[in-house]
Amino acid sequence: LAVALAAGGGAACARRSQDLHCGACRALVDELEWEIAQVDGGGTIQMGSFRINPDGSQSVPYARSEAHLTELLERVCEKMKEYGEKVDPSTHRKSYVRVISHDGTKMDLSGVKIDGDVASSLKFACESIAEEYEDELIEGGGHEADNVKDRLCSKRTDLCDHALHIPHDEL
């Protein structure tokens, strides 16, 4: 019986860790996308590389440049303190939602746990992901695309494989 309980407890712990890392990845991508969208105008940055755009130029929009994305990755995990934890009552899976809106609109926080431990765990997971998957995040963030969260958090990093069937608004 003790072995069965230990195995079950390990699975619950692994699921919590999986939920945390998936949630941190999705929040990280959301924050990166929001920051990219805030950059004014169509400023570009010259690339000194072999990458050439379809029009023959060697520049990229500053908002999606490697330099800008690297800068964002250094500070984006600080935003995790603006997230809370929500537990699905039927599956007991945890997801992480913004508790402070970007634009100041009132948010429905019913069922959302807001505390320092949640924010600290999410920030730590975010920093680990940003460090471990920096190249993938920069490469993925360098292109405008649909379903960036799915591409980066499920297909490229495997952090959210369990979540592919969950509707996006619940993550």
Q: What is the pLDDT of residues 83-136, one digit of tens each?
A: 999 999 999 899 999 999 988 888 889 899 998 999 999 999 999 999 998 888
**7 pLDDT higher than 60:** no
**Chain mean pLDDT for the chain:** 79
157: nearest Cα among 115, 123, 128: 128
Q: How far apart are CA 133 and CA 154, in angstroms?
A: 12
Name the band, by pLDDT with cuts 50, 70 and 90, for residue 4.
very low
Cβ neighbours, 10 Å, residue 86: 19
| Cα 140 to Cα 90: distance, rounded to the nearest angstrom | 33
Q: How confident is residue 12, by pLDDT bands cut at 50, 70 and 90? A: low
pTM: 0.75
Q: Is the pLDDT of residue 15 over 50?
A: yes
Summarize pLDDT for 22-39 with one digit per residue, the tens. 999 999 999 998 988 887
Question: In which band, very low, low, confident or very high, does the pLDDT at 147 lie, cut at 50, 70 and 90?
Answer: confident
Q: Would residue 44 be called left, alpha or beta, if left means φ above 0 and alpha means ψ between -120 and 50 degrees?
A: beta
CA distance 23 to 30: 10
**The pLDDT of residue 60:** 61
Read off the pLDDT of residues 51-62 as tens digits, 9 standing for 90 and up: 555 666 656 677
